[in-house]
Amino acid sequence: MTSVRDATYDLLRAHGMTTVFGNPGSTELPFLSAFPSDFRYVLGLQEAIVVGMADGYAQASGRPTLVNLHTAPGVGNAMGAMFNARENKSPLVVTAGQQVRAMMTMEALLTNRDATTQPRPVTKWSYEPPRPQDVPHALARATHLSGLAPRAPVFVSIPMDDWAAEADDDLTRHVGARAVHGRSAPDPQALGELAQRLGAAADPVLVAGPDIDASGAWETAVALAERCRLPVWAAPASGSGRLGFPEDHANFQGILPPAIAAVSQTLEGHDLVLVAGAAVFTYYPYIPGPLLPEGASLVMLTSDPDEAVRAPMGDAILGDVALALEGLLAQVPASDRPAPAQRPAPEPPPESDPITASEAAAVLAEVFPPHGVLVNEAPSSVLAFRNQLRLSRPGSYFFGAGGGLGYGLPAAIGVQLAKPERPVVAVIGDGSAQYAIAALWSAVAYEVPLTVLILRNEEYAILKWFAEFEGEMGAPGLDVAGLDSVAIASGYGMRARRVEGASELRSALAEAIASAAPELIEVRIAPGMSLG
């Protein structure tokens, strides 16, 4: 007889899901006991960390990733991170243990009373199989669904006595062998019309979003921009978890501001706005104005039906972003428009004591390897790091698109586990680091060789800036003095040091990036916002 447990491990093998991110409890032990030697378990010390690591891993590997949590409280702790994962379009198969079936109705300890309701708002599908022998099928269904556009977390609750039950061999054999080919092609007629419009436009512009990277369309987007001589803007930074275009490319103009009036001002003069792989648009704060400049129309390419229908302006063509861009590239004529004006190289930031975040970013840019990956959660200096680093390769940048802090540190570990050959640097604000600080333990325990740079300004700088912008002065709770990241990291067993000034920072970063061990560097920076 094959147990549900053995059938499930076979299914996970068939899907290449042999890395499991988890935090266990008694209800998960029947799944985890005698853990197969070809699987790897990555323990996170709190569920936000477990899901954050899995999110980074899933995005960097491009594959559905298994998460195993402890019944209702484990899922509760994970919900903020699952919200982030949904905004990041991260394909997570989140599972949690449940009390044995015989004791669920009497509500024995650890019964997850509303197992499927609890994570529903942050998942695409939430399920508890009606019979033990349906567990492998439910997990297969969950895996396929999480990987289809828009990619998102899914949830399966599994009663702990299901694992020992006898599997339905015929069902699991078929279920385990299925492939679901999910890249949908855009409507050829709509795409053909768009190619004509693009060819005929006087001054079109491309707005590049995160799904260009996620769908593997990086080179195609570059080829299209070059062929049509399109100036290229990145979608607003706050809602973009990844880059859509090389930021050192001659056609690249910068990052769109995230407000209604500012977007149309920035795009002034263009008659056609082509948005690829981004929502239209992830605005914040509210600065009212025209949605588009006078005389401009907009077309978005997206694989996400909700993104397509919720946009307030323009048309949408639904389908895989890479296929859409390839289709356009094949049909659009080469343009003889003049090449777009090139934006200037980043300005060297003025020197100050302590250094500004822009100066820290310029120092990182000097030592950043071409195949490096930046994971960024330093809210008041996101734009400074984007501008100074100007990353140029696919898969080089991960940012929490949902805005929930506690993503960066664990995600960087997940990215590094998925991409051991690429040096990962996590740049994290001193406040942000605390939301998932115990992730440092996982980096040490699994010898994940990432570099963590903590920007110590002893404040929630971005909130102070926002308060001033909105004229909301006098709020409490915006100062976070006394967070000694070096002492905290040492407590988790991580090599850590504090540096002052640009030259100490430069050599510390170069050493940490080259080293095969995880390392944390804390640098004191000046308070306030750094924009460039």
Task: Give residues in contact with ligand TPP (CB under 6 A).
Answer: 80, 378-381, 403-406, 429-432, 435, 457, 459-463
The 3-state DSSP class for residue 322 equals helix
- Minimum CB distance to ligand TPP smaller for 46 or for 302: 46
Q: Please tell me whether residue 414 binds Mg ion under the rule CB under 5 A.
A: no
CB of 382 to ligand TPP, least distance (A): 8
Name which of 396, 444, 340 is nearest 45 in CA terms: 444
Q: Specify the residue, 254 or 527, whose C-beta has the smaller distance to ligand TPP.
A: 527
Rounded CA separation 465/369 (Å):
32
DSSP label at 513? H
**Closest approach of Mg ion to the CB of residue 220, in Å:** 38
Q: CB nearest ligand TPP: which residue?
A: 429
- Return the number of the residue (136 or 402) whose C-beta is nearest ligand TPP: 402
* Number of residues engaging Mg ion in binding (CB under 5 A): 4
Please report, as a single letter, which amino acid is at residue 280: V
Picking from 146, 87, 141, 95, the residue whose alpha carbon sits closest to that of residue 119 is: 95
If DSSP states are collapsed to H, E and C, what string results for 206-251? Answer: EEECHHHHHCCCHHHHHHHHHHHCCCEEECCHHHCCCCCCCCCCCC
Beta strands, E only, 248-344: 252-255, 272-276, 297-302, 315-318
Is the preceding peptide bond at 394 cis, omega within 30 degrees of 0? no
Handedness of CA 499, 501, 504, 508 (dihedral sign): positive
Nearer to ligand TPP, 46 or 253 (CB): 46
Q: Which two tokens stand for residue 276?
A: 């690829």
The answer to the question of residue 91 lying near Mg ion (CB under 5 A) is no
Which partner from the list Mg ion, ligand TPP, none does 87 bind, CB cut-off 5 to 8 Å by kind? none
| Identity of the residue, 206 or 525, whose beta carbon is nearer to ligand TPP in the bound complex | 525
| Bridge partner list, 454 | 428, 522
Q: Interacting stretch for Mg ion, rule CB under 5 A, among 12-20, 300-308, 312-320, 452-460? A: 452-460
Residue 429 touching Mg ion (CB under 5 A): yes
The listed partner (Mg ion, ligand TPP, none) that binds 230, CB under 5 to 8 Å by sort, is: none
For 368, residues 6+ apart whose C-beta sits below 8 A from its C-beta are 374, 389, 425, 513
Nearer to ligand TPP, 29 or 475 (CB): 475
CB of 492 to Mg ion, least distance (A): 20
Q: Is 408 in the site for Mg ion (CB under 5 A)?
A: no
Q: Distance between the two ends of the chain, CA-based, in angstroms?
A: 63
- 3-state secondary structure (DSSP) of residue 479: strand
**% helix, strand, coil for the chain, step of 5:** 40, 15, 45
23 binds, among Mg ion, ligand TPP, none (CB under 5 to 8 A by kind): none
**Residue closer to ligand TPP, measured from CB, 102 or 531:** 531
* Spatial CA neighbour of 7 closest among 182, 140, 188, 112: 140
Q: How far is the CB of 238 from ligand TPP (least distance, A)?
A: 10
430 counts as binding Mg ion under rule CB under 5 A: yes
Minimum separation from the CB atom of position 530 to Mg ion (A): 11
Least distance to ligand TPP from the beta carbon of 378, Å?
5
Q: How would you label 200-220 residue by residue, b for 16+ Cβ within 10 Å and e otherwise?
A: ebeebbbbbbbbbbbbebbeb
Return the one option of Mg ion, ligand TPP, none that residue 432 interacts with (CB less than 5 to 8 A, by type): ligand TPP
Q: Which range in 43-51, 57-65, 274-282, 422-430 contacts Mg ion by CB under 5 A?
A: 422-430
Using the contact rule CB under 5 A, the part of the chain among 100-108, 231-239, 272-280, 430-438 near Mg ion is 430-438
Residues in the chain: 532
Give least dist CB 359 to Mg ion, A: 16
Instruction: Please give the structure tokens belonging to residue 242.
Output: 């990844």
Using N-to-C axis directions, what is the helix angle for 321-331 and 188-200, rounded to 10°?
A: 50
Shortest Cβ 287–Mg ion spacing (Å): 25
Residues 6+ apart with CB under 8 A from 34: none
Our CB check for Mg ion shows the closer of 257 and 429 to be: 429
For tokens 């934006």, name the residue: 343
> Which C-beta is closer to ligand TPP: that of 218 or that of 385?
385
403 binds, among ligand TPP, Mg ion, none (CB under 5 to 8 A by kind): ligand TPP
Minimum CB separation from Mg ion for residue 432, in Å?
7
DSSP 327-338: HHHHHSPPP-SP
247 binds, among ligand TPP, Mg ion, none (CB under 5 to 8 A by kind): none
Applying CB under 5 A, among 457, 486, 513, 524 the residue interacting with Mg ion is 457
3-state SS track over 373-398: EEEEECHHHHHHHHHHHCCCCCCCEE
Provide, rounded to whole angstroms, the least separation between the CB of residue 75 and ligand TPP: 17
Residue 293 or 354: the one with the smaller Cβ distance to ligand TPP is 354
**Positive or negative CA dihedral for 139, 167, 19, 217?**
negative
- Residue 450 contacts which entry, Mg ion, ligand TPP, none (Cβ below 5-8 A, type-dependent): none
Whole-number Å distance between alpha carbons of 57 and 21: 10
431 binds Mg ion (CB under 5 A): yes
Comparing CB distances to ligand TPP, the nearer of 155 and 460 is 460
Pick 316 or 436: Cβ nearer ligand TPP: 436
Residue 209 or 429: which CB sits closer to Mg ion? 429
Q: Is 522 in the site for Mg ion (CB under 5 A)?
A: no
Written as one letter, the residue type at 269 is: G
Binding piece for Mg ion, criterion CB under 5 A, among 231-239, 299-307, 352-360, 455-463: 455-463
Rg of the chain in Å (alpha carbons): 24
- State the residues that interact with Mg ion by CB under 5 A: 429-431, 457
